[in-house]
Amino acid sequence: IPAVSGGELLATELSHQEILRYSRHLIMPEVGLAGQKKLKEASVLCIGVGGLGSPLAMYLAAAGVGRIGLVDFDVVDFSNLQRQILHHTADVGRPKLESAAEKLRAINPEIEIVLHEAMFSSANAMDICRDYDVIADGTDNFPTRYLTNDVCVLLGKPNVYASIFRFEGQASVFHAEKGPCYRCLYPEPPPPGMVPSCAEGGVLGILPGIMGTIQATEVIKQILGSGDPLIGRLLLFNALDMRWREVKPMKDPDCPICGENPTIHELIDYEQFCGISMGSEEAHVEELGADWNITPSDLNSELQREGKVVLVDVREPHEWDICHITGSTFIPEGDVLARMNELDTADDIVLICRTGIRSARALNQLRESGFTKLRNLVGGLHGWADDVDPSIPKY
């Protein structure tokens, strides 16, 4: 960590109030006065202040990390509140950075909070990360994970990583100078749509709290220079079984960024690398073109007129139980090809999901199988609830 050199005590002094605040650290020989001064001198960048970033940032603030940077550009949504504990009901609609900064300053007014309200991208990542000692990746998408990894390798900084999905989490510390990087473990991203997002697949609200506090622990260990870090170790957690496993990924000598003959020397287009052409899964919808999409209002008008429109809902069974449009046919996305014999190519078919993303993928599958009279409901059931039927709950 650049803030600490030669194991010497830092010049930074603690006030009487800080000594009282951090007293439970100070009486631990593994931290002590010298360690608390290291924490005060250190700087950590938290990429994302959502499910993982909430407990991560809160515990770093409480621990006395002197400068905490936050990167996010989203606003608080009701669906965040089940797990993103930095944000409260009254914060819905506020920028997440504004909400997060308020809570962190209330936890510890002694520290500095730096806000980076921007989409973390190849254009700004180097400038944002350069002045921080440790980078903590709390993101939920593959382009940003590869971007964070590459920035940390190029700048020689530790990348404290965690990810979550449904009941499962994983955590590690990727530090190319001492062990494998993220690319060593995952050389190629999964095909777009192969791994559902939390919005599609869900996540146990407690899980990011568990994994985020593990991240905070690893960050503090990096700053203190003590303990056995998760470098070269991938921690796997299953909350449903309450079991932990550990695997030991090896450094890949052929890794394109940290291997013996690296071919990546600067940041690349990570959305293109991950097969996402427009920066988000919504690209699937827009790429269909106007002829393959239908708005909720237009669909409602067609349903009011005579003529057969077949509605096919491609969500999962538990989502169907929450809500659905009366009269629609239920065929989960994963079963579309196996059950396409249940559909008539002569019918006008409108595919439906929660937000229009999965239904766009299903449309492409059917189109490649010879169906031509297909349309995707833009905005999915959320759009239907907004424009046509507010009795449909949004989830």
Amino acid at 109: P
Query: Which pair of tokens denotes residue 74?
Result: 């989203």
Query: What distance in Å separates the CA atoms of residue 230 and residue 215, rounded to the nearest whole number?
Result: 10
Q: Quick one: pLDDT at residue 192?
A: 77
Query: What distance in Å separates the CA atoms of residue 18 and residue 29, rounded to the nearest whole number?
Result: 17
Asked whether 378 and 285 are in contact (CB, 8 A), the reply is yes
User: Residue 247 CA to chain centroid, in angstroms?
Assistant: 22
Three-class secondary structure assignment of the chain: CCCCCCCCCCCCCCCHHHHHHCHHHHCCCCCHHHHHHHHHHCEEEEECCCCCHHHHHHHHHHHCCCEEEEECCCECCHHHCCCCCCCCHHHCCCEHHHHHHHHHHHHCCCCEEEEECCCCCCCCHHHHHCCCCEEEECCCCHHHHHHHHHHHHHHCCCEEEEEEEECEEEEEEECCCCCCCHHHHCCCCCCCCCCCCHHHHCECCCHHHHHHHHHHHHHHHHHHCCCCCCECCEEEEECCCCEEEEECCCCCCCCCCCCCCCCCCCCCCHHHHCCCCCCCCCHHHHHHCHHHEECHHHHHHHHHCCCCEEEEECCCHHHHHHCCCCCCEECCHHHCCCCHHHCCCCCEEEEECCCCHHHHHHHHHHHHCCCCCEEEECCHHHHHHHHCCCCCCCC
Query: What distance in Å separates the CA atoms of residue 39 and residue 79, rounded to the nearest whole number?
Result: 34
Query: Which pair of tokens denotes residue 213?
Result: 């506090």
Measured between alpha carbons, how far is residue 384 from residues 27, 300, 347, 355 in Å? 59, 9, 21, 9
Query: What distance in Å separates the CA atoms of residue 365 and residue 340, rounded to the nearest whole number?
Result: 10
Query: What distance in Å separates the CA atoms of residue 171 and residue 212, rounded to the nearest whole number?
Result: 9
> pTM of the prediction?
0.81
Q: Quick one: pLDDT at residue 6?
A: 35
∠ CA 198-358-278, rounded to 5°: 80
Query: What distance in Å separates the CA atoms of residue 83 and residue 102, rounded to the nearest whole number?
Result: 18
∠ CA 60-65-37, rounded to 5°: 140
In the numeric block, the tokens 């990570």 are attached to 270
Mean pLDDT by 10 residues, the chain (395 residues): 40 89 97 97 98 98 98 96 98 98 98 96 97 96 96 98 96 97 95 75 94 98 97 98 97 97 95 71 61 95 87 96 96 95 95 95 94 96 96 94
Q: Quick one: pLDDT at residue 275?
A: 85
Q: Quick one: pLDDT at residue 306?
A: 72
Q: Quick one: pLDDT at residue 287?
A: 64
Catalytic residue set: 198, 353
Query: Which pair of tokens denotes residue 293?
Result: 């999409």
